[in-house]
């Protein structure tokens, strides 16, 4: 089963290995990222400190077998770099029935993005993506680590509206 799908521009890193994987009791991590899948250097760097009992698979988004992951009896943590990648996965067959929980963990600042939480910066098109994902039935929240209070999609949209109204 896909225990959690997380959007985090850092992909696989210490916070994932020390907090999310244990909390979810993840038995496997899938990194769905075209750039990482095409870079042996990125793959080596990402998996350097992963314990041997936690398999990591790095795949292009179009190559991920969403139904197969969802059918697994073991909890799987899926990592994606950007919301746009998640939108591409949905266009490729990912549904809320296969991965109901989406976590926005870290979406870094770039020009055009507005801070909504200490680790989430979104642009207007990304806020539309959030609305669309929720409209499709995905349960979306923002939080960096499991012990943080989750910020729901509605609150993110409200924070965006408030932040851009003052411009």
- Give the pLDDT of residue 135: 96
What are the structural domains of the chain? 2-165 (3.40.35.10)
pLDDT tens digits for 78-91?
999 999 999 999 99
- Give the pLDDT of residue 35: 96
Collapsing DSSP to helix, strand or coil, 7 comes out as strand
Pick from 48, 41, 43, 44: nearest CA to 59: 43
Does the structure show a pLDDT above 70 at 20? Answer: yes
Our CA dihedral for 163, 79, 133, 122, rounded to 10 degrees, sits at 20
Angstrom distance (rounded) from CA 69 to CA 92: 14
pLDDT > 90 fraction of the chain, expressed in percent and rounded: 98
Q: Please state, rounded to an integer, the average pLDDT across all residues of the chain.
A: 96
Does the structure show a pLDDT above 90 at 161? Answer: yes
């Amino acid at each position: 089963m896909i225990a959690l799908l997380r959007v985090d521009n850092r992909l696989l890193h210490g916070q994932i290995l020390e907090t999310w994987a244990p909390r979810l009791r993840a038995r496997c991590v899938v990194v769905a990222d075209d750039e990482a899948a095409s870079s042996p250097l990125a793959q080596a760097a990402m998996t350097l400190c992963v314990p041997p009992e936690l398999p990591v698979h790095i795949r292009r988004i179009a190559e991920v077998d969403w139904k197969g992951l969802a059918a697994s009896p073991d909890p799987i943590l899926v990592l994606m770099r950007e919301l746009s990648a998640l939108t591409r996965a949905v266009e490729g067959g990912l549904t809320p029935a296969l991965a109901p929980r989406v976590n926005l963990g870290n979406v870094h600042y770039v020009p055009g993005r507005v801070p909504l939480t200490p680790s989430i910066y979104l642009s207007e098109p990304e806020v539309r993506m959030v609305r669309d994902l929720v409209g499709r039935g995905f349960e979306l929240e923002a939080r960096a680590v499991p012990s943080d209070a989750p910020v729901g999609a509605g609150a993110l949209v409200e924070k965006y509206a408030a932040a851009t109204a003052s411009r």
